[in-house]
A = this chain, B = another copy of it.
Amino acid sequence: MAPVPSGVLGAVDPTSDRAVFRQIADQLREAIDRGRFKEGSKLPSEAELVEHFGVSRMTVRNSIGVLQGEGLISAEHGKGVFVRPRPPVRRLASDRFARRHRDQGKSAFIVEADAAGSRPEVDSLEVKEEKPSRDISARLGSPRKVLARRRRYLLDGRPVEFAVSYLPLDLARGTRIAEPNPGPGGIYARLEEAGHRLDHFDEEVRARMPSPGEAKMLRLASGVPVIHLVRTAYDTEGRAVEVCDTVMAADAYVLAYQLPAT
């Protein structure tokens, strides 16, 4: 068993008021912050830390759990504990739905990822009619049924976002919007062709820890929150024509908005 690199980690004081596992977590955190353990690199194994600090394994595991909860490290069964790499973030600009950005063939996600040198994928595509939740229904003006378009987005094989678009049935049924591939420019282009010129979008942004289902769908490490974004699209007559409910891996995104000062 390799010893812990000398000088990187000190000793703990069992008589201190601060719990031993917190002292160990503090030392590891500081070592990571100072770059003594680099992004993606392996921390000393539990056994090595037990040896180094002279504590029981549960104490070491407890300290590792603290840093996992902070999103700093993640454990991989059979391999070790690693400093969590910060993945490249996708920047969502507030003008991303402007008409000029509607590409002829490809979706905004694909275009943008290609430009950034990432490999984009969309999977789990599912389109079906269903009864809306109370919340979605209220936002769309209480339709009895809606068309739901579900899909998951991945970058370089990593799932980063899961989104569901809801549209009132009278706008969607029988159009390309109800097909898996809605055609060039996406559903917004189809809505405008049908006479529903878009006026503006409302976006609501929340952050929270993922449900177990979301963590699985996005393959989230512990300590990674999600950004929950609900966007409502309005046409020029003030009618809500679409609600898009999106859950994003928070470590993969930064949202950018421009606000008028007037």
Contact = CB atoms under 8 A, between A and B. Distances in A.
Interface of A: 29, 58, 65, 69-71, 94-95, 97-99, 198-212, 222-227, 233, 250-251, 253-262
Q: Which of A99, A199, A202, A206 has the most CB of B within 10 A?
A: A206
A261 B203 contact: no
A31 B98 CA distance: 44
Contact of A222 (B69, B71, B98, B200): B69
A204 B256 contact: yes
B254 A204 contact: yes
A257 B99 CA distance: 19
Contacts of A233: 261
Q: Give the number of times this chain occurs in the complex, counting copies.
A: 2
A97 B261 contact: yes
A250 B94 contact: no
B254 A201 contact: no
Contact of A254 (B58, B206, B210): B206
10 contacts: A70-B209, A94-B257, A97-B261, A98-B261, A205-B257, A207-B250, A209-B224, A225-B225, A225-B250, A233-B261
A185 to B, nearest CB: 13
Given A202-B256, A204-B256, A261 B99 contact: yes
A59 B255 CA distance: 40
Given A201-B258, A256-B202, A258-B201, A209 B71 contact: yes
B207 A207 contact: yes
A207 B204 CA distance: 14
Given A94-B257, A95-B259, A208-B251, 9 more contacts: A70-B209, A70-B211, A200-B258, A202-B257, A203-B257, A205-B227, A206-B253, A208-B225, A225-B250
